[in-house]
Amino acid sequence: MKWDVAVVGAGPTGSRVAYHLAGLGFGVAVLERRPDIGGKAACTGIVGRECVEAFAIENDVVLRQANRATLFSPSGNRIELHRGEPQAYILDRAAFDCAMAQRARSKGAEYYLNTTVESVERADDKVIIETTQGNFEARAAVIAAGFGSGLTDGLGKFADFTAGAQAEVESKSAEVEVYFGREVAPGFFAWLVPTSPGKARVGLLSRENPTLYLKRLLTSLADQGKIDSAEVEIGHGAIPLKPLPRTYGDRLLMVGDAAGHVKPTTGGGIYYGLLGADIAARTLRKALQSNDLSARSLARYEREWQQLLGRELRTGYWARKLFEKLSDRQIDNIFDIVKRNGINEALLKEKGLPFDWHSKAILKLLEHQVVASAVNVFRLPRN
C-alpha cells in the first residue's frame, strides 16, 4: 500500500502531524520502533500553561501542577520563585504520548509498532522506507524519531548537543528544586520534580558522564532525606542544542527533536515540537494538494518555524553558551545580586514573561547592569 505520508516516530510530535493530515483525509502511516507507545526516560515532561491550553492537553495526563520552585546555587544559597497561578504542568509522558496517538488514530492514522526504520530513500515520485517489518511507500515522509535517529539523510549534522540522565524516585518532596554548580551538573543544572504523591523525577544535563553525576546527586539527596533511596534505575537520552542546518528536503520534513526544536536553556522539547508539527502539517497539506513535494515547495516549513522559533532558539543558545562559561563563584554572585536587588521578585511581577518563551526573561535579566557585569556580558545577542 502506498501512503500519502509516512511518519517515523510515535511521540507527541509525530502523532500531532499524523492527527492533522489524517483528519484532512490523507492516508497516514506512523512507524514506531518500540512495541508500545510511551515516553522517553530522560524527558521530565514539564510544559507551561500556554502549551496545555494551545494543545488541549487533557487533565488525566497531568500528574501535577506547579506554581513554585526553589533554585540552589553551588554554595547552597537559594532563590524561591512563586506565582499565584500554576506556571508548569508535569505530564505523565507515557499517558500523554498514548493520548496524542489516540487522537491521530481517531482521524484514521494507522500505527505500526515494533517497526524499526532502517533507511529512507527518496525517489522521483515517492519515498521508500525500509523497516524491520518490510518496506513502506509514501508520497512524503516526516521524521519525528527524536535526536540521533540517523535519518537526517543529507540535511547536515547537529552542531551541538548534550546528554541527560533521569530516574524515578520515591520522595515526599512537595516542590520543584533546581540545582546549579560544577560538582552537580557542570555547565548545566539538575532537578528534583515531584510528580504524584510519594514520587518524583531526579535528573540532570551534562556534556560528560551524566550517569556519574546523577548517581552522586541521588546519594546526596538520599543523605538529606529528600528521596528514599539512591538505588534506582537510571534512564538516558541525548538532546540537541541547535537545530539541524536544514530541516526539509525533497519529500521530507524533520520535526521535533529530530529537527532540533528544543529549548537550549532547559532541554525541553514538547511545546516547540508541537508548534513545529502544526507548521509541518500545514506545509504538507498544501504540498500534497498541489502534488509538489519538492524541496523548494517544502522550504516554507523552515521559513515558518524560523519565524516563530528562530529568535528563541538563537537567544537561548547564546545564553546556554554564556552560562557554561560561568564558574561556581560567578553563579553564587549572581544569586546574591538577584536576591539583594529584588530582581527575582521584579521578574515574577513582570507581565509578558511566559514559561515557555525564555528570550524575554533572559534579556530582561541582563538589562540589570549588575547582573550583566557579574557574567562579563558586553554584547547582547541580536534578534
* DSSP per-residue letters across 354-382: -TT--HHHHHHHHTSHHHHHHTT--SPPP
Pick 22 or 346 by higher pLDDT. Answer: 22
191: pLDDT confidence band, cut at 50, 70 and 90?
Answer: very high
Over residues 300-319, mean pLDDT: 94
How high is the pLDDT of residue 84?
76
Given pLDDT bands bounded at 50, 70 and 90, which one contains residue 104? very high
Who contacts 309 (Cβ-Cβ below 8 Å, separation ≥6)? Answer: 261, 272, 275, 276
Residues 345-357 have pLDDT tens digits of 766 666 665 667 6
CB 130 within 8 A of CB 117: yes
Domains and CATH numbers, the chain: 2-43+92-158+241-309 (3.50.50.60), 161-239 (3.30.9.10), 318-374 (no CATH)
Average pLDDT for residues 352-381, to the nearest whole number?
61
Sign of CA dihedral 93, 94, 97, 103: negative
Angle of CA points 17, 120, 236, to nearest 5°: 70
Q: How confident is the model at residue 20 (pLDDT cuts 50, 70, 90)?
A: very high
Per-residue pLDDT at 378 exceeds 50: no
Residue 297: per-residue pLDDT: 97
CA atoms of 341 and 337, how far apart (whole Å): 6
pTM: 0.92
> Please, how many CA atoms are within 13 Å of residue 202, restricted to the half-sphere of its CB?
31
Provide the grid cell at 284.
504538507
Write down the mean pLDDT value for the chain: 90
Least confident of 114-128, 141-155, 242-256, 304-318: 141-155
Long-range interactions of 344-351: CB distance < 8 A, separation 24+: 344/79, 344/81, 348/81, 348/82, 348/83
